[in-house]
Chain A
């Protein structure tokens, strides 16, 4: 009996926070009531125990056992866990597992170690995969030897000091590589197809790839390319924001190089990806270096949601097939490579758990000389009860036909027919679509779009991301879908046959019991759509309700400060327009025409300077005010309030400022516009921070007296202001329209993108910021050119003369 065999044992588990690990912990706690567990987890910032409590026991896998404890036992679930489970901080990516002496002593008390920690992400960087998947099992074995040597008294299961525990290493069927035909349960190097490579050399080379990539990422050419990219995505967001972005992009680039390197190396050796490749070498390294540690290797195929234990459909995280299926249900993925007759080898997680526990209960396999020898057990469905790719597609399609996913307009999405194209064709198709979107995006980014049109470009970006993801799936999993290896289960069935009928009932691992229609349609998909949070009913959530929720937050009385940008946030105008208005006010008709033509001619150059750096632009542009009389500017600005500022204002924006004020929030205008231009708006705000020019003899001299508050200077201005007025920026709301305002928007707790230009629109959407579309009042006089109405200078009339 499995439970009897394991009842008196203490079992260490790595990877307990993962999908398989969580299932193992749950099963042991529930079905082997006297077993004890030592969970080796990376401590993170919260510490190992905390991680175990939060990341493992809060999972819904434990709902079932929690209930039995609440109802039947005089001990609570938490008390039971405290009694039977201990957490040890450790990391399989580090030699010696990074164990503290107490941790090692804890490990020494264990009879069995189940190593299920792995990086399963199919696009992880080569060196990460090497550290964890390749070196991990070996390090666990080494730590076990050390622990056994340090052991002073026998374990619960009776292991004497010096006697190592039984290591069960979880691997994957795909270590067999991409090949057709039979893949038996044998050690890697026993396979005739194995290309003999030294794992040590692979480790060295992977580490070197990282160093080289880091190096390459720092070459001037690469850095300037990255700087260009960051400017393209953020616009004139100012120095700090751009450098942050460059560094982020550089790291991303390095990781990409490592992923690429991994995939290339794997495929050169006949593996579908770096995961299978590193797992295979990991098995080999483990077997080679195990010394006296008894080793069993369990190789599952693709692990999917539970068939029955702890509950039908239980799944943790988003696994391999789910993103693909979700993308299909959303109508994003129209085609996925694969041959309809091909086998999709999936196995429910509870079958894998049962296999591992059966191996654990059985103990190490003994060789002819009665000493333990490494053995391999595979658990897969492909040979005993194959699910054909075509069959799976039909099941998924018919289920989504009956249970469609709804789009944001509450329309059901109809799932496409599947045509089983080859991988190359799908990749080409996606590539073409991507190229189209790229072009569209580049065009949209160049156009000076705002508000709803800019949203269009954010839509495009979202579509591109989805396409990228779909493309990723095809690249990553395509190799699996096309894999036609048949994983033999002889040893697994030997194990199965050795179980007594009670165990066969409780710990089912025979894939022949699976009815695929039931499993896919009644167990897996219903649970998967919940996990993926797909919208399965109309009307649940719309973006409108989201906006109004965000708006309520923004207008909550707890907020302390509301900061507003001016141009295109409150007013559809800019410094050029106000300059033109002021400058033309005292010109005659011919001069007006030539002024207008001159300004139009300059416009492209000005626009591009503005895109490069806002404060440079302002400094350059404001030189034109040289010699302008202070008093005249003040007088004309009063008139400009009506004719330009209010005429071009967004009434909803002005109302918002006033709403903030009415709620008792401080209102602050930060603008690169000149002080005298915005002076008439003063009653609207509690404070205004503007650009200011120096004066000589009552005239402006075209020089700014300080750095204009734009970009990062605006951020600093805001921070200083908040400090001086004792305001909490986390309780501040900021309204702005351009990516050059990013530093300011990121500094506050409640950023709002108003009539955002393309870049900001996509950033705002990604980060879930409130987006407002404010418009000029319908009915506002519409003037194409910002030309000031002429100040009329009729012949100076002497009043006396008039009366004569």
Chain B
């Protein structure tokens, strides 16, 4: 049962708009700034995301219902018994983007699960942030995701903690898949009588067997799908049934099913209400020609203010934004059944049908991606967000034709967070200075970074992404790099853009002219108006 919509009308679906002379300048996200660009009339089109679907009226009740009526599985209370070993794993900081206002969905779900466990007198409960090779979450971040109540109850007893893929005693090997891929898992999770995994499925890549097979795994496990060959065969990695990344995770899932713990999967979907229906950023999820005078004034004021704000302060302002996301669905039970239902719900919000491919695809890259929450979006992450995530938000065929051009807008500063991304700095200074070819990079450098003791030390004891993580960022764009004729970055620091192997352009006009060298004169142009998130279903 949905509550009444604040807009007073039903949300409109995403759609494609052909640009004509009357189309106003279009919003491009540009890191912690914005650009307004006019695209050539007559040959440009824009793809807009759907308006936010209505959220569930009573999320807590919906969660309760999901736990009591799971898919292909017994109700949760029936799975709980005294003396059992229960582990609750949950998605880490990389979801959702940006972080959501409290209470976070994870908190809502885990509080109910813990209530049921307490009712069943389950004593031995561990909570694990399933971060695979991501950085550890800080105390403040854990408190935000789970709430103070849960944090204070578990953290002092060291029963709430971050997954540690490099703990020599903390991992177990569950076996090999039929493709000889290793399957590894956090020891506590693997040795539990029940593993409950709490997902926040912001895009269609998330969830399913990827949650446990990747989130609770280590380098030995993830390297079988986090590699160039797999990523080049994942067309796209957002489309689970055409994604080699997911096929591999599903094969690992078969092993987990056979040799791992019993799994109770909980998946959730949220709507597109990233910037709010009102408030300072609400203009970002409206369509430009529908901007009111007030919207326009707000936007111009915001843009001008940002232009004169120092970058560190700008970063703080943006990172402080918490999205008023609303829960649109929750489903629990057996992994695959749950995930299929989740995909339907994700697609309901994201899918926009698009006819045919384009010569030139444009993105405005925002200030955040899964790996720089409370951190810096460094040039490698710019590449990953553009050519990894945005490029792969398609079903069917890529939005841009083979040999086409992607133009992304982002300042791409030569900046790195020294604590969160130490191996990124060295990857950028050393590896990319040598080659940008993913195959070469994987062959020559991956192992050295993956087994590096200092990076491992920082991953375990500081708040650093694993040494191998920047490689995965690069692999995430491998399919795009193979597909595209050229990548141009508008408004980026030319030094870092060139280091990435891309071409810098100072204006959109220049970028379009540079693109014409590759795809010919008067190319067709498509602007991917994201975020809020959309996924193109290209026919």
A interface with B by C-beta (< 8 Å): 638, 641-643, 646-647, 649, 651-652, 654-655, 658, 680, 683-684, 776-782, 792, 794-799, 802-804
Contact = CB atoms under 8 A, between A and B. Distances in A.
B486 to A, nearest CB: 27
A109 B252 CA distance: 102
A652 B418 CA distance: 11
Given A651-B416, A776-B418, A792-B139, A646 B378 contact: no
A651 B422 contact: yes
B157 interface: yes
A799 B422 contact: no
19 contacts: A638-B461, A641-B462, A643-B419, A646-B464, A649-B418, A651-B418, A651-B429, A654-B422, A684-B454, A777-B416, A777-B417, A778-B413, A778-B415, A780-B419, A795-B152, A796-B152, A797-B149, A797-B153, A803-B114
A241 B454 CA distance: 36
A792 B142 CA distance: 13
B152 A779 contact: no
B457 interface: yes
Given A646-B422, A658-B454, A684-B454, A802 B149 contact: yes
Interface string B123-150: 0000000000000000100000000111
Contact of B118 (A778, A779, A794, A803): A803
Contacts of B114: 803
Contact of A779 (B417, B429, B453): B417
A211 to B, nearest CB: 62
B115 interface: yes
B461 A680 contact: yes
A802 B414 CA distance: 46
A356 to B, nearest CB: 64
A665 to B, nearest CB: 15
Interface in B422-472: 422, 425-426, 429-430, 452-454, 457-458, 461-464
B454 A683 contact: yes
A647 B457 CA distance: 15
Contacts of A649: 418
A646 B418 contact: yes
A642 to B, nearest CB: 4
B interface majority secondary structure: helix
Q: Which 3 A-B pairs have the closest CB atoms?
A: A779-B415, A797-B152, A802-B153
B312 interface: yes
Contacts of A680: 461-462
Nearest to A777: B418
A646 B156 contact: no
B203 to A, nearest CB: 26
Given A655-B425, A655-B426, A804-B118, 18 more contacts: A641-B461, A646-B418, A646-B419, A646-B462, A683-B457, A684-B457, A776-B418, A777-B415, A777-B418, A779-B418, A780-B418, A796-B156, A797-B152, A797-B156, A798-B153, A799-B153, A803-B114, A803-B118
A779 B416 contact: yes
B488 interface: no
Nearest to B414: A778
A649 B463 CA distance: 14
Nearest to A650: B418
A798 B152 CA distance: 8
A786 to B, nearest CB: 15
A642 B458 CA distance: 9
Nearest to A652: B429
B483 interface: no
B515 interface: no
Nearest to A643: B419
A779 B376 contact: yes
B219 interface: no
Contacts of B154: 799
Nearest to A795: B152
A777 B462 contact: no
A776 B148 CA distance: 34
Contact of B419 (A642, A683, A795): A642
Contacts of B117: 803
B453 A683 contact: yes
Interface in B61-118: 114-115, 117-118
Interface in B362-414: 376, 378, 413-414
Contacts of B152: 794-797, 802
| Central interface residue in A652, A658, A776, A777, by most chain B CB within 10 Å | A777
B115 A778 contact: no
A652 to B, nearest CB: 8
Contacts of B413: 778-779
Nearest to A661: B454
Nearest to A651: B425
B88 to A, nearest CB: 13
A134 B385 CA distance: 84
A781 B316 CA distance: 10
Nearest to B139: A792
A781 B374 CA distance: 10
A316 B452 CA distance: 57
A647 B416 CA distance: 11
B444 to A, nearest CB: 14
Given A655-B429, A792-B139, A778 B416 contact: yes
Interface string B310-322: 0010000000000
A134 B417 CA distance: 72
A643 B154 CA distance: 24
Contacts of A684: 454, 457
A796 B155 CA distance: 11
B460 to A, nearest CB: 10
Interface in B463-501: 463-464
Contact of A646 (B376, B452, B458): B458
A641 B136 CA distance: 14
Contacts of B149: 797, 802
| Central interface residue in A638, A658, A776, A781, by most chain B CB within 10 Å | A781
A655 B70 CA distance: 51
B473 to A, nearest CB: 16
A796 B152 CA distance: 7
A654 B453 CA distance: 13
Nearest to B417: A779
Contacts of B312: 781-782
A651 B427 CA distance: 12
Contacts of B426: 651, 655
Nearest to B315: A779
B117 to A, nearest CB: 8
Contacts of A642: 419, 462-463
Contacts of B430: 655
Nearest to A804: B118
A719 to B, nearest CB: 28
B485 to A, nearest CB: 31
A787 to B, nearest CB: 16
A782 B310 CA distance: 12
B352 to A, nearest CB: 34
A457 B452 CA distance: 40
A572 to B, nearest CB: 11
B493 to A, nearest CB: 10
A355 to B, nearest CB: 65
| Central interface residue in A655, A778, A779, by most chain B CB within 10 Å | A779
A740 B150 CA distance: 52
B425 A777 contact: yes
A647 B458 CA distance: 12
Given A777-B416, A778-B414, A792-B139, A802 B422 contact: no
A658 B150 CA distance: 40
